[in-house]
A and B are shown apart, each in its own frame.
Chain A
Amino acid sequence: MPEDMKQMADLSSTEKDRLTQTGLEVEMKNRSGSFFQVDQEIRQTASLEKGIEVLSIREALQKYDWLEDFSWKLVSKDKDQYTRYVADQPDPRGFVIIARKGSKTVYPLQTCLFLAKTPIQHVHNIIIAEEGAELHLISGCASASYTKTGSHIGISEFYIGKNARITSTMIHNWGKEISVFPRSASKIEENGIFLSNYVCMQPVRKIQMSPVADLAGKNSIARFSSIVVCTPGSFMDLGSVARLSAEGATAELLTRAITTGGTIISRGMIEGTTGHTRGHIECKGLILKDGIIHAIPEIKGDVVDTELSHEAAVGKIARDEIEYLMSRGLDEDVATSTIIRGFLDVKIAGLPQSLQDQIDAAIDSAEKSGF
């Protein structure tokens, strides 16, 4: 990799393509800010929007004493070996984004974590939307085309203030021998909204994550959506947890999972601990070739007035659907991919169109390569 590479635009076209597949805009068009880290080196922190700060975590912790109250408060340092590994690093890496009270981004802010040479990339990120702020993030995580092995450990803590909104769309593009361990948690205050979307259509050796949302404020909303294709040799243990701990809180966990030979464990857990709360888990899985989809939806209510439900379905594409489309003139392969494309076509309520377009583009790209 050239020494003078400072920004995404300096990458080779192959690497730029890999990042583009994760929804990143290498030329920074229609983006309100950017964070770019290659291995453990921070290459870029920029914000073009008034009221939004993008800093490296080291810089931010030096600049703001109060940030200590937000660091390692939602994710425990002792959660597991991966959090301990990151917590033990003397020189932390990662970013802090602060959307000040009432600020709103027109364009999304992009963060890019690129794994090239280092065996383990670790990051600790803190994202804060203060009261009434609105922040849209697109996070592209990828490894270089020449990177065969490695691990990525990412800690993310999201704070969604009163009447604030964060949408976070993370698209992964790793390699066949890369292992990934995100550890994320969020706290949502009164009337706050947190939409978290995860897309992975490319091979990965192992990914294991289960972000936790604490719906601590009245009428807060959390919506997690995962759209994944699991190829042979990939192991994906994906889940999300929502704790409905304030009146009027609502959570939805939605998964569309396809295996073409890999193993997917799709977990979901909603806990209703306060009245007037609602939660729903929906997991739909398609087994296209030999593979495993293991859906484990859990709902736990311990008060009278919480409404929790789940639905999970795993199976193959129905023959009558394929034949229906064939009777309209589509050959079997086109009919099948049209149905798969439809299966993955989840429109996420409240997501800005530009981010929905990025999700659609990631799926389109997988469709072109035949899933």
Chain B
Amino acid sequence: MLELRDLQVKIGERKVLRDINLHIKEGETHVLMGPNGSGKTTLLRTIMGFAGLEVTGGQIFFKGRDVTDMPIHERAKLGMGMLFQRPPTIAGLKLGKLLAVTSGERAGLVSEYTRYLHMDNFMDRAINLGFSGGEIKRSEVLQLMVQQPDFVMLDEPESGVDLENISLIGNAIARLLEKDVHIVNRKKSGLVITHTGYILDYLDADYGHVMCDGVFRCHGNPREILRVIKTSGYKECLACQKI
């Protein structure tokens, strides 16, 4: 599904990602952990193709195509999607209007997804304007359900969300990633940034990666990695010479 080969990224003169290699196969969910400022969000934004990030080396392959220089919307059309940790507020643009524009042939499903995520009363509201933390995430998940990407990047889907909403959002993301489909037949893949790991209760991630200072420091079982981080913080990852 997604392959990153020796990816090097700069913001201005600063090298922010180095020697990034990652292979996410069809049906797999990977988890990305690391301290604040380690480059996790930058990696997701680079994969999506946002401006302000310069790929100085390496390549991004998606579904077998080199998408390193592809515009954002073409990557989206090819099947990439992203849940933003802090999406922008777009004054005047109603959530319902955006869904109408993006839904295309899935227009008939919008109302079902809207009800499922309890967003019925938000269709006439400007995107993210005055939304609470949980509402922002529900709006993000709703947009992704309408978009139905094959590869979903989730940037801290549980941050700022209360326990009741975590369950709703977690189940919706599980649906988005076809967690109800047997692994053999599952087509959807994901890359999830999490600090708390709460979201893993819903996702059954396959692989975990730890990023520190723009490089991967560890790959392994996501729950084991999380346990180590919860007990000892990231210092063991930094000291680890395994990679």
Chain A bound to chain B: yes
The yes or no answer to B132 lying at the interface (CB within 8 A) is no
The yes or no answer to A318 lying at the interface (CB within 8 A) is yes
Among A321, A326, A329, A346, which residue has the most Cβ atoms of chain B within 10 A? A329
Query: Residues of A contacting B94 with CB < 8 Å?
Result: 342, 345
Query: Residues of B contacting A321 with CB < 8 Å?
Result: 88, 90
CA distance A329 to B52 in the complex (A): 19
Minimal beta-carbon separation of B133 from chain A (angstroms): 18
The yes or no answer to A89 lying at the interface (CB within 8 A) is no
Known: A326-B72, A327-B76. A320 touches B101 (CB 8 A): no
- Asked if B50 and A328 make an inter-chain contact with CB atoms under 8 angstroms apart, the answer reads no
Minimal beta-carbon separation of B101 from chain A (angstroms): 6
Look across to chain A and name the residue whose beta carbon is closest to the beta carbon of B80.
Answer: A327
- Asked if B101 and A338 make an inter-chain contact with CB atoms under 8 angstroms apart, the answer reads yes
Query: Residues of A contacting B92 with CB < 8 Å?
Result: 341-346
Query: Residues of B contacting A338 with CB < 8 Å?
Result: 93, 97-98, 101
The yes or no answer to A42 lying at the interface (CB within 8 A) is no
Look across to chain A and name the residue whose beta carbon is closest to the beta carbon of B149.
Answer: A329
Known: A329-B73, A329-B147, A332-B73. A324 touches B88 (CB 8 A): yes
Interface residues of chain B: helix, strand, loop or mixed (majority): mixed
- Asked if B147 and A328 make an inter-chain contact with CB atoms under 8 angstroms apart, the answer reads yes
Known: A323-B51, A339-B90. A334 touches B101 (CB 8 A): yes
CA distance A319 to B51 in the complex (A): 8
- Asked if B90 and A327 make an inter-chain contact with CB atoms under 8 angstroms apart, the answer reads no
Known: A318-B88, A332-B71. A327 touches B82 (CB 8 A): yes
Within 8 A of B (CB), among A301-320: 318-320
CA distance A319 to B53 in the complex (A): 13
- Asked if A325 and B91 make an inter-chain contact with CB atoms under 8 angstroms apart, the answer reads no
- Asked if A326 and B71 make an inter-chain contact with CB atoms under 8 angstroms apart, the answer reads yes
- Asked if A328 and B77 make an inter-chain contact with CB atoms under 8 angstroms apart, the answer reads no
The yes or no answer to A331 lying at the interface (CB within 8 A) is yes
Minimal beta-carbon separation of B9 from chain A (angstroms): 16
Look across to chain A and name the residue whose beta carbon is closest to the beta carbon of B52.
Answer: A319
The yes or no answer to A335 lying at the interface (CB within 8 A) is yes
Minimal beta-carbon separation of B176 from chain A (angstroms): 14
- Asked if B126 and A342 make an inter-chain contact with CB atoms under 8 angstroms apart, the answer reads yes
CA distance A334 to B98 in the complex (A): 11
The yes or no answer to B87 lying at the interface (CB within 8 A) is yes
Known: A341-B93, A342-B93. A335 touches B88 (CB 8 A): no
- Asked if B81 and A327 make an inter-chain contact with CB atoms under 8 angstroms apart, the answer reads yes
When each residue 44-82 of chain B gets 1 if its CB lies under 8 Å from chain A and 0 otherwise, what string results?
A: 000010111000000000000000000111001100111
Look across to chain B and name the residue whose beta carbon is closest to the beta carbon of A334.
Answer: B101
The yes or no answer to A330 lying at the interface (CB within 8 A) is yes
Query: Residues of A contacting B147 with CB < 8 Å?
Result: 328-329
Known: A329-B77, A330-B73, A330-B101. A343 touches B91 (CB 8 A): yes
Minimal beta-carbon separation of B41 from chain A (angstroms): 13
Query: Residues of A contacting B98 with CB < 8 Å?
Result: 325, 328, 338
CA distance A332 to B50 in the complex (A): 12
Among A327, A332, A334, A345, which residue has the most Cβ atoms of chain B within 10 A? A327
Query: Residues of A contacting B52 with CB < 8 Å?
Result: 319
CA distance A23 to B98 in the complex (A): 26
Minimal beta-carbon separation of B103 from chain A (angstroms): 10
CA distance A329 to B88 in the complex (A): 16
The yes or no answer to B143 lying at the interface (CB within 8 A) is yes
- Asked if B90 and A326 make an inter-chain contact with CB atoms under 8 angstroms apart, the answer reads no
The yes or no answer to B102 lying at the interface (CB within 8 A) is yes
- Asked if A324 and B77 make an inter-chain contact with CB atoms under 8 angstroms apart, the answer reads no
Partner of B88, one of A320, A326, A346: A320
- Asked if B91 and A335 make an inter-chain contact with CB atoms under 8 angstroms apart, the answer reads no
The yes or no answer to B84 lying at the interface (CB within 8 A) is yes
CA distance A321 to B86 in the complex (A): 12
Partner of A328, one of B71, B88, B91, B143: B143
Look across to chain A and name the residue whose beta carbon is closest to the beta carbon of B146.
Answer: A328
Query: Residues of A contacting B76 with CB < 8 Å?
Result: 326-329
When each residue 97-129 of chain B gets 1 if its CB lies under 8 Å from chain A and 0 otherwise, what string results?
A: 110011000000000000000000000001000
Partner of A342, one of B51, B73, B91, B143: B91
- Asked if B73 and A339 make an inter-chain contact with CB atoms under 8 angstroms apart, the answer reads no
CA distance A182 to B207 in the complex (A): 68
CA distance A341 to B93 in the complex (A): 7
CA distance A330 to B94 in the complex (A): 15
Query: Lowest 10 CB-CB distances: which A-B pairs, in order?
Result: A342-B93, A342-B92, A326-B72, A329-B76, A326-B73, A345-B92, A328-B102, A320-B88, A331-B73, A321-B88
B residues with CB within 8 A of A: 48, 50-52, 71-73, 76-77, 80-82, 84, 87-88, 90-94, 97-98, 101-102, 126, 143, 147
Contacts A323-B72, A338-B97 known; list 5 others, CB within 8 Å: A323-B50, A328-B147, A329-B73, A335-B73, A339-B90
